[in-house]
Homo-oligomer: A and B are copies of this chain.
C-alpha cells in the first residue's frame, strides 16, 4: 500500500497524539517552574551564522553541526548552520540586546537543538532542551549558581522519574588548582578527559591513563581526589584537609561550599545535592561550578540534567564582562528513557472531553450542536462535533476511541433542550438539560 518510505529521519522524536500530549504536559510543567522562579522566556533563531556557533566551540562541535546550503553551495562556504545548544545563541543575544535587558538577566529557553551525530538508539539529532540561565553585568554572585541548581531540581521533581535522583556538584577551579599545585597544568585537558570517563571504565584503566601524564605520587593524589564525594560538610572537610595552598583550589572549594550551603536553603532537604570530584563536564566553556544529575537506580542512563558556570562565553563577542551560569534538562532524551523504563506509559487516552454527533447537517440541528459545543468550550472543555458522513454506528465507534463522553443530537434534543450524555468508560447515561 505504501509506495514511499514515510518514516521520520532517524534521530528524531515523532510521537502519537496521546504520548505527544504527555510530552507537552511535562514540558509545560518545567516551563511553569522556571517562570514561577522569575526566569523570562526568550526564543533565538534555530539558524545562526556559522561563525557565531564556532566562535568558541571548535573540535567535536564543528563536526556535529548541521550546515545549511542552497543549490550549488558546498558545506565549506556554508555561512549558516543549526544551533547545537541554547547557551551559545544566548551569549550572542545577551550581547546584542544588552542595552534593553535588565541584569542579572534570568532567562529560559525551551526548544529544539540540532546535532548531526551518528544516529543510534536513544541518541537524538533534534531534541528539546529546557534551559535556565542567569547572565550578569560585570559580576554575578555564585548564589545564582545555587539558584540554577535549585530551580532545575524543582523542575525535575515535577517529572515522573523512576525513583530518587541526586545532584552532583563540583567546581572546575578545584581541579585546576590541584593540577597547578602538582605542576600538571599543561595536561589539564587530557586529565579532565580521563576524569570525565572515570565512571565508565575500571579503576585501573583510569590509573594507567593518568600514569601516562603524571608520576606515581601525583597519580595517587589525583585518584584519591576524584574519590571525594558526599554531603557538603564531609566533602569540604576532606578537600580542605588535602593541604593544597593553591589560590584557585581554595577559591573553588569556598565557592563549592557556598553553593551547596545556599542550595540547601532553597530546596526540600530530602533532595540529595552532593559534592563530587568526578564531575567535570565535557564542554570547555565552563569556568567554575559544574553539575550533573543522576537517577540513583539507573546510573547507566547518565546525567539527566546538567550545567555550570561560564564566566567568559560572551567574551567571544564583547569586551564587556558578562559572566553566566545555566543548566538544562534534555527533555527528548529523558522522555525516551522514561518510556523505556515504563515511567511514561502508552496509555489508551481519550484526549477529547466530549463528542457531539448531530443526526443531520440541517441548519437548526447544526446551530444547536455548535452552540452547545461553544458553551462547553467556554469552560475549557474540548468538544469535537462529528461531521463525517458515515453511519451512526461508525460515528459512535469513533467517539469511543477518542472521547470521554458522547451525545447524539437529533430533532428531539433540539426541541426538548435535553440531551443524553453517555460516559464512554462506564457506559452510564444521564439526561441533562442544556441552556443555550
**A158 contact set on B, CB distance < 8 A:** none
Of the listed stretches A230-238, A336-344, A362-370, A413-421, chain B binds A362-370
Contacting residues, chain B, for A6 (C-beta < 8 A)? 52, 92-93, 95-96, 317-318
Contact of A4 among B38, B43, B55, B62 (CB under 8 A): B55
Indicate with 1 or 0, residue by residue over A257-293, a CB within 8 angstroms of chain B CB atoms. 0100110011000000000000000000000000000
**A residues 218-267 touching B (CB-CB < 8 Å):** 258, 261-262, 265-266
- Residues of A within 8 A of B (CB-CB), count: 109
Shortest CB distance A391–B (Å): 12
Interface: A20 (CB within 8 A): yes
Are A384 and B106 in contact, with the CB atoms below 8 A?
Answer: yes
- Are A104 and B2 touching (Cβ within 8 A)? no
Q: Quick one: given A100-B16, A319-B3, are A45 and B126 in contact (CB under 8 Å)?
A: yes
- Complex partner residue of A2 from B82, B317, B351, CB under 8 angstroms: B317
- Is the CB of A301 closer than 8 A to any CB of chain B? no
Q: In the complex, are the beta carbons of B126 and A35 less than 8 A apart? A: no
| CA gap between A15 and B101 in the complex, in Å | 11
Which partner residue on chain B sits nearest A316 by CB separation? Answer: B4
CA distance A46 to B3 in the complex (A): 23
Known A46-B46, A319-B3; judge A75-B66 contact (CB<8 A).
no
In whole angstroms, how far apart are the Cα atoms of A104 and B66 in the complex? 37
Interface presence of A1 (CB below 8 A): yes
A24 (CB) vs chain B CBs: closest residue: B41
Does A200 sit at the interface, judged by CB under 8 A?
Answer: no
- Per the 8 Å Cβ criterion, residues 64-78 of A in contact with B are 66-76, 78
Between A and B, 18 residue pairs with Cβ closer than 8 Å are A4-B316, A6-B93, A8-B93, A9-B45, A14-B96, A17-B40, A20-B40, A21-B41, A37-B383, A38-B383, A40-B351, A63-B71, A66-B70, A68-B82, A69-B74, A141-B387, A147-B387, A265-B363
Known pairs A13-B43, A36-B377, A266-B370; list 6 more (Cβ under 8 Å).
Answer: A6-B95, A8-B48, A20-B41, A36-B383, A72-B76, A143-B387
Q: 6 closest A-B pairs (Cβ-Cβ)?
A: A38-B384, A12-B45, A143-B387, A265-B366, A17-B40, A6-B96
Q: Enumerate chain A interface residues (CB-CB to B < 8 A).
A: 1-9, 12-17, 20-21, 24, 32, 35-38, 40-49, 51-52, 55, 62-63, 66-76, 78, 80, 82, 92-93, 95-97, 100-104, 106-107, 112, 114, 116, 125-126, 136, 139-141, 143-144, 146-147, 258, 261-262, 265-266, 316-320, 351-352, 355, 361, 363, 366-367, 370, 373, 377, 380-385, 387-389, 398, 401-402
